[in-house]
Amino acid sequence: MGVLVGKKAPLFEADAVVNGGEFVEKFSLEQYIGKKYVVFFFYPLDFTFVCPTEILAFQKKLDEFEKRNVAVVGCSIDSKFSHWAWLNTELKDGGIKGVKFPLVSDLSKTISENYDVLAGEYDIDEENGQSVFVGDAVAYRGLFLIDKQGIVRHQVVNDLPLGRSVDETLRMVDAWQYVEDHGEVCPADWHPGDDAMEPTADGVANYLASH
């Protein structure tokens, strides 16, 4: 699995559905550079089981992300039409109606490949020389925190059955923004209001001595 932390987030142009039902062509994360932080996350498929719990959890905390100047963007290998249908299906029927943040269509799977979260890979069938896909042609549950300069500052990738923690994502946003604002570093299990550390040997020693 590739590590993108410290690197430019791969950019793309793709179909997306925004505001719960509006089609957008050539949606790009580039629109946020210089303006917003981005939490860009992948999920395997629309109309499945773990995925709506995550997506609805992000929607529930969307105001908290917006307070922190963070755009939340989801992505799967489904078509824009599948996204639209899911967004317009009631929760009681397995839908995610009410979700407002963008859902990107990675029908070609190139975005998932570029972020190295595709749960499989293309290979050559030695018998006929044709390209075949080995594994699951869906994305792992990858999540990337991208700063306003377009640099990845945090990433986590879960296997398909394992849902992510939206609260942990918010904690990482808070930690990174604290680092940017104060120049200190955040120790284990840091939360807003906790002590941080000077990034020096004395800073670490002083922190450990007081905790």
CB atoms within 10 A of CB 134: 10
- Of 14, 39, 51, 117, which one is the catalytic site residue? 51
Distance CA 124, CA 131 (A): 5
To the query of whether residue 51 is one of the catalytic residues in this protein, the response is yes
Residue owning tokens 């290998």: 77
How far are the Cα atoms of 101, 153, 158, 159, 182 from residue 59, in angstroms, in the given order? 7, 22, 20, 22, 29
Are 108 and 13 in contact by the 8 Å Cβ rule? The answer is no
CB atoms within 10 A of CB 136: 14
Distance CA 157, CA 164 (A): 9
- In sequence order, the 6+-apart residues with CB closer than 8 A to the CB of 93 are none
Are 39 and 145 in contact by the 8 Å Cβ rule? The answer is yes
Please identify every residue annotated as catalytic. 51
